[in-house]
A = this chain, B = another copy of it.
Amino acid sequence: MDTIKTQQWTSDSVAADLERAIHEHRLPPATKLGEDELGDAYGISRTTVRAALHALSHRHLVELRRNRGAFVAQPSVREAREVFEARALLEPRTARSAAERMTDAALDLLRANIEDEHAALDANENGRALFLSGQFHVEIARIADQTTIETFISELISRSSLIIALYWRRRAALCETQAHHALLDAFARRDGDSAEQLMKNHLLDLVASLDLRNVAQPATSLREALNR
């Protein structure tokens, strides 16, 4: 197997590349991430790969098992609930702050994001659309000028993508963009109250679209299923 790109990969950029692949569902939950394999793929040594995998494990996107390797995380039903509870605490109030600090330039960024998502959906690039949909939320935290909270939300968004991969119920993804449009309107009006409430409902809708009953989790490999 040849290397992926001609680039000066660092542990951070490899981690970002892997995170995006996970976020876009190109690397589904439970995928084995062998160090040698990744090292060959990126054309780097295991040292750098290990640093990237450890970084992702701190973001709960990768699960490290001692002497067994790294796997794309498989959030449990419980973890899924927790992630959305954390988002419910952080995002509505952050959306309010963003609305209050909104600028025209920031509005353009959010509009461009929504348009890109539409374009990706039209091109049947569902993974990319999902990624952009998440970026919308991260952008809001950035506009709210809360770097610390943005870091948390960014992690929660990526984990949400894994949760969606495992527990998504509905087929129609269009309701999503509708909520983002409504938020955009509230932002355009600098309406903090509406933004907070819309974000709250948006998150509730997201959870409602998941199947979080305590059913057996899908496992890609038999071994994984039995070790649980």
Query: Which residues of chain A have a CB within 8 Å of any CB of chain B?
Result: 50-51, 54-55, 58-60, 79, 82-83, 85-86, 89-90, 93-94, 146-149, 152, 156
Contacts and interface: CB of A to CB of B under 8 A. Distances in A.
Q: Which of A59, A60, A79, A82 has the most CB of B within 10 A?
A: A82
B54 A146 contact: no
Contacts of A156: 148
A85 B51 contact: no
B82 A146 contact: yes
30 contacts: A50-B51, A51-B51, A51-B54, A54-B54, A54-B55, A55-B58, A58-B59, A60-B148, A79-B147, A79-B148, A82-B146, A82-B147, A82-B148, A82-B149, A83-B148, A85-B148, A85-B149, A86-B90, A86-B146, A86-B148, A86-B149, A86-B152, A89-B89, A89-B90, A89-B93, A89-B94, A89-B149, A90-B90, A148-B156, A152-B152
The oligomer's copy count stands at 2
Contacts of A149: 82, 85-86, 89
